[in-house]
């Protein structure tokens, strides 16, 4: 019996653009153990974001199997996947994607609206998540009142608040300067080492990948190499 | 933060745009409230007027008066309990302010209209004073008229025999209504027909309408037909109908109020529909990545659809209720300022229910297309900006 949190078996993905069928992933197989921190690297068009979307349940594979924490997510309907994402996955995007009309704590609270939690409990948890990312004092600020790094911290708090099994990060430092990027990556590393969060991160930045335990290289939809980070 | 607060926050994403849209909705529902209240008033007639009375008028038009000698003939029709008669006097006070004035037989008025309440002494004074006039409470309060006053009324139709258009009456009574509805109708002045008939250069011995009190309201149609049959092929053919129908017909002279109001409202709501619809569509278009994020976080298609629809509903409810509240206040103000015209017009439960229905329909019409679009968003495409 496998102990991997994420099991990807012979996954393929193609899109149809007009009359053209575009093959994006060709029979990818990966195991990601619980508590791992994996960086997915590769040039543009290599299929890394597509693979991340499949792992996060945002899209369905054309073929193969994806099992996360024992559940076959490739067989789930749209509604089941929504529910599954709410319970199991936290997402961090390159451009933070916070809702500008809500304060930091209200943004963090969003995933908890899908639970039966009371308002007071939701706010309490949102503030705990903000405290973990070091932004408790900015809870009442709106995104436009925060710096890029702070916005990304809020996005990470939002991803954490429902205590997901898996954190899925798509170029989380792509829009940040080096220093801020290092702070964010250190935070992700801490979430992995201290809180045991399993993290899959897409990046094209080798320095960012150094923060991961393991780096997977993709090119033209094929897995090239699987290397453990030096540090 | 519940879903409602989230919808509220989303609504105010672009404050100026939201405010302008709400203002346009307020204007639309203000118009709706005012016009619909008028339409209900005009098309329903005075609903409190029952079918216990019939009104007999000339078949040609009620402006074509009938001779008073028809009265005993009408009285003799089986099923008729009592008859009174009114002649439109065309009263004017001040510069050119109309006051609804009718020349009538006091004793017959008292019998035919028990809804007008006044003391015995005042009724007797009205019967016995040739220049006597009784004034409705609403108009008396408005003009400060009281018993004992001399009341100079100009007629814009009937000159006196000396050529003067100004008639002088003595206020001998102030009448009230039997209940709140009738009280709001106490906006007329009645003068003694005997005096009018004798002193007028012309029009003496005529009545614009006869009000017929029935012995049995269930025989209204039968009695109406019998009265009209009595005068068929005579020089004074009649048209007899219930008081309510008469009132409707009276207002219909102005035009088909219901149709006019409907056409105006269709134009208003079509404009609002396109305006608000465009606002909602634009608001959703701008937020596609945000909506995709919600779906990423686990919000289902249905939930996202409901959130967007909720936004349209909230927008329409805010604008709608504010507009209707404003309309109610304005109608109240109009009723106070000009009770003779607007005293009985009000934004009642019917108008409010129609308004709420309009808000819901509008919200669905403007909210459903973008809401469905939001619900159908493919996360991967939306996040990639496709």
* Identity of the residue in B10, B13, B296 whose CB atom sits nearest the CB atom of A85: B296
pLDDT at position B27: 92
Instruction: Give every residue of chain A whose pLDDT is below 50, as ranges.
Output: 1, 229-231
Q: Please list every residue in chain A whose beta carbon sits closer than 8 Å to the beta carbon of residue B386.
A: none
Of A10-19, B30-39, B65-74, the range with the lowest mean pLDDT is B30-39
Q: Please list every residue in chain B whose beta carbon sits closer than 8 Å to the beta carbon of residue A109.
A: 1
* Identity of the residue in A87, A97, A119 whose CB atom sits nearest the CB atom of B2: A119
Q: Per CB distance under 8 Å, which residues of B are interface residues toward A?
A: 1-3, 6, 9-10, 12-13, 289-290, 293-301, 303, 379-380, 383
Cβ burial A77-94 (10 Å sphere, 16+ → b, else e): eeeebbbbbbbbbbbbbb
Contact assignment for B13 to A78 by CB distance below 8 Å: no
Contact assignment for B1 to A101 by CB distance below 8 Å: no
Band (pLDDT 50/70/90 cuts) for residue B253 is low
Bridge partners (DSSP) listed for residue B191 = B103, B133
* Identity of the residue in B10, B295, B380 whose CB atom sits nearest the CB atom of A82: B295
pLDDT at position B45: 47
> Is the Cβ–Cβ distance between B187 and B135 less than 8 Å?
no
Nearest to B86 by CA among B179, B213, B207: B207
Q: Please list every residue in chain A whose beta carbon sits closer than 8 Å to the beta carbon of residue B286.
A: none
pLDDT at position A18: 82
Taking 80 as the threshold, does the pLDDT of residue B256 lie above it? no
Band (pLDDT 50/70/90 cuts) for residue B320 is very high
Sole residue written with tokens 């009723």: B335
Nearest to B320 by CA among B33, B29, B11: B29
**Residue in B closest to A167 by C-alpha:** B297
Contact assignment for B297 to A109 by CB distance below 8 Å: no
**Residue in A closest to B291 by C-alpha:** A99
**How many alpha carbons fall within 13 Å on the CB side of residue A58?**
27
Q: Please indicate whether residue A209 or residue B256 has the higher confidence score (pLDDT).
A: A209
Q: What is the mean pLDDT of residues B16-43?
A: 85
ipTM of the complex: 0.89
Closest approach of A231 to chain B, Cα-based (Å): 32
Of A143-147, B94-98, B156-160, B280-284, the range with the lowest mean pLDDT is B94-98
Contact assignment for B9 to A101 by CB distance below 8 Å: yes
**A173: CB partners within 8 A, 6+ apart:** A152, A180, A181, A184, A185, A203, A205, A208
Q: Which residue out of A24, A82, A122 would a mutagenesis test of the B interface target, given it has the greatest number of B Cβ atoms within 10 Å?
A: A82
Q: Please list every residue in chain B whose beta carbon sits closer than 8 Å to the beta carbon of residue A100.
A: 13, 290
Nearest to B287 by CA among A32, A102, A89: A102
**B185: CB partners within 8 A, 6+ apart:** B46, B136, B138, B177, B343, B344
Taking 90 as the threshold, does the pLDDT of residue B368 lie above it? yes
Contact assignment for B1 to A97 by CB distance below 8 Å: no
- The count of residues in chain A is 231
3-state SS of chain B is CCHHHHHHHHHCCCHHHHHHHHHHHHHHHHHHHHHHHHHHHHHHCCCCCCCCEEEEEECCCCCCCEECCHHHHHHCCCCEEEEEEEEECCEEECCCEEEEEEEECHHHHHHHCCCEECCHHHHHHHHHCCCEEEEEHHHHHHHCCCCCCEEEEEECCCCECCCCCEEEEEEEEEEEECCHHHHHCCCEEEEEHHHHHHHECCCCCEECEEEEEECCHHHHHHHHHHHHHHCCCCCCCEEEEEHHHHHHHHHHCCCCHHHHHHHHHHHHHHHHHHHHHHHHHHHHHHCHHHHHHHHHHCCCHHHHHHHHHHHHHHHHHHHHHHHHHHHHHHHHHHHHHCHHHHCCCCCCHHHHHHHHHHHHHHHHHHHHHHHHHHHHCCHHHHHCCC
pLDDT at position B82: 94
Closest approach of B10 to chain A, Cα-based (Å): 6
Q: pLDDT tens, B191-224?
A: 999 999 999 988 888 999 999 999 988 888 899 9
Closest approach of B311 to chain A, Cα-based (Å): 14
Taking 70 as the threshold, does the pLDDT of residue B48 lie above it? no
* Identity of the residue in B3, B297, B383 whose CB atom sits nearest the CB atom of A111: B297
CA torsion B17-B21-B23-B26 (nearest 10°) is -160
Q: What's the mean per-residue pLDDT of chain B?
A: 87
Contact assignment for A106 to B379 by CB distance below 8 Å: no
Q: Which residue out of A45, A97, A112 would a mutagenesis test of the B interface target, given it has the greatest number of B Cβ atoms within 10 Å?
A: A97
Q: pLDDT tens, B162-197?
A: 889 999 999 999 999 998 878 878 889 999 999 999
The rounded distance, in Å, linking the Cα atoms of B186 and B309 is 48
pLDDT at position A192: 93
> Is the Cβ–Cβ distance between B254 and B59 less than 8 Å?
no
pLDDT at position A230: 43
Band (pLDDT 50/70/90 cuts) for residue B340 is low
Q: pLDDT tens, B232-252?
A: 999 999 999 988 777 766 666
Q: How many helices (H) and strands (E) does chain A have?
A: 7, 10
The rounded distance, in Å, linking the Cα atoms of B167 and B91 is 9
Contact assignment for A83 to B379 by CB distance below 8 Å: no
* Residue ranges per structural domain of chain B: 3-46+256-383, 60-236
Cα angle, residue B341 at apex, residues B337 and B345 outer, rounded to 5°: 90
Contact assignment for A102 to B13 by CB distance below 8 Å: no
Contact assignment for A101 to B296 by CB distance below 8 Å: no
Burial bucket for residue A194 (CB in 10 Å: 0-12, 13-18, 19+): exposed
Count Cβ–Cβ pairs < 8 Å, chain A vs chain B.
Answer: 69
- The pTM score is 0.69
Q: What is the mean pLDDT of residues B80-102?
A: 89
Contact assignment for B297 to A91 by CB distance below 8 Å: yes
């Amino acid at each position: 019996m496998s102990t991997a949190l994420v099991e990807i078996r012979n996954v393929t993905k193609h899109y149809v653009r007009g009359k053209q069928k575009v093959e994006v992933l060709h029979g990818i197989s990966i195991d990601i153990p619980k508590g791992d921190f994996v960086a997915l690297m590769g040039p543009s068009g290599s299929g890394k974001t597509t693979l991340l979307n499949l792992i996060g349940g945002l899209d369905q594979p054309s073929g193969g199997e994806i099992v996360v924490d024992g559940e076959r997510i490739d067989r789930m309907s749209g509604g089941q996947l929504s529910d599954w994402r709410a319970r199991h996955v936290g997402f961090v995007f390159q451009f933070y994607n916070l809702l500008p009309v809500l304060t930091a704590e209200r943004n963090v609270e969003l995933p908890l609206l899908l639970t039966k939690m009371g308002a007071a409990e939701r706010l309490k948890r949102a503030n705990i998540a903000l405290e973990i990312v070091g932004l408790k004092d900015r809870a009442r600020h709106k995104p436009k009142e925060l710096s890029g790094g702070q916005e990304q911290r809020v996005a990470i708090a939002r991803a954490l608040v429902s205590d997901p099994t898996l954190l899925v990060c798509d170029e989380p430092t792509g829009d940040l300067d080096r220093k801020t990027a290092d702070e964010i990556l250190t935070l992700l590393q801490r979430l992995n080492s201290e809180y045991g969060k399993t993290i899959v991160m897409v990046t094209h930045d080798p320095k960012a990948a150094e923060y991961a335990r393991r780096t997977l290289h993709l090119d033209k939809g094929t897995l090239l190499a699987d290397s453990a980070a030096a540090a | 933060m519940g879903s409602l607060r989230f919808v509220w926050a989303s609504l105010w994403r672009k404050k100026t745009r939201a405010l302008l849209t709400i203002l346009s909705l307020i204007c639309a529902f203000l118009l709706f409230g005012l016009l619909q209240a008028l339409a209900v008033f005009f098309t329903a007639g005075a609903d409190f007027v029952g079918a216990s009375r019939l009104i007999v008028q000339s078949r040609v038009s009620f402006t074509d008066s009938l001779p008073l000698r028809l009265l005993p003939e009408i009285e003799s029709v089986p099923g008729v309990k009592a008859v009174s008669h009114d002649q439109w006097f065309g009263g004017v006070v001040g510069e050119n302010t109309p006051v609804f004035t009718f020349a009538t037989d006091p004793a017959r008025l008292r019998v035919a209209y028990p809804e007008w309440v006044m003391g015995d002494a005042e009724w007797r004074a009205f019967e016995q004073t040739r220049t006597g006039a009784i004034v409705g409470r609403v108009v008396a309060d408005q003009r400060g008229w009281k018993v004992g006053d001399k009341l100079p009324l100009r007629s814009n139709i009937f000159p006196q025999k000396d050529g003067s258009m100004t008639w002088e009456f003595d206020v001998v009574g102030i009448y009230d209504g039997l209940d709140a509805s009738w009280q709001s109708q106490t906006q007329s002045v009645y003068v003694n027909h005997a005096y009018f008939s004798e002193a007028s250069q012309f029009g003496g011995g005529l009545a614009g309408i006869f009000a017929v009190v029935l012995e049995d309201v269930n025989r209204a149609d039968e009695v109406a037909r019998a009265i009209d049959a009595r005068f068929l092929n005579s020089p004074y053919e009649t048209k007899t109908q219930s008081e309510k129908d008469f009132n409707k017909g009276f207002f219909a002279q102005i035009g088909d109020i219901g149709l006019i109001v409907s056409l105006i409202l269709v134009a208003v709501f079509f404009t609002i529909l396109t305006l608000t619809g465009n606002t909602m569509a634009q608001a959703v278009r701008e937020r596609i990545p945000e909506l995709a994020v919600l779906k990423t976080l686990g919000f289902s298609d249905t939930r996202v659809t409901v959130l967007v629809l909720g936004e349209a509903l909230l927008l329409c409810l805010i604008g709608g209720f504010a507009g209707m509240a404003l309309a109610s206040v304005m109608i109240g103000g109009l009723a106070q300022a000009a009770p003779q015209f607007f005293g009985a017009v009000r934004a009642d439960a019917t108008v409010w229910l129609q308004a709420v229905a309009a808000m819901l329909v509008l919200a669905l019409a403007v909210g459903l297309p973008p809401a469905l679009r939001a619900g159908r968003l493919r996360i991967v495409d939306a996040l990639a900006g496709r």
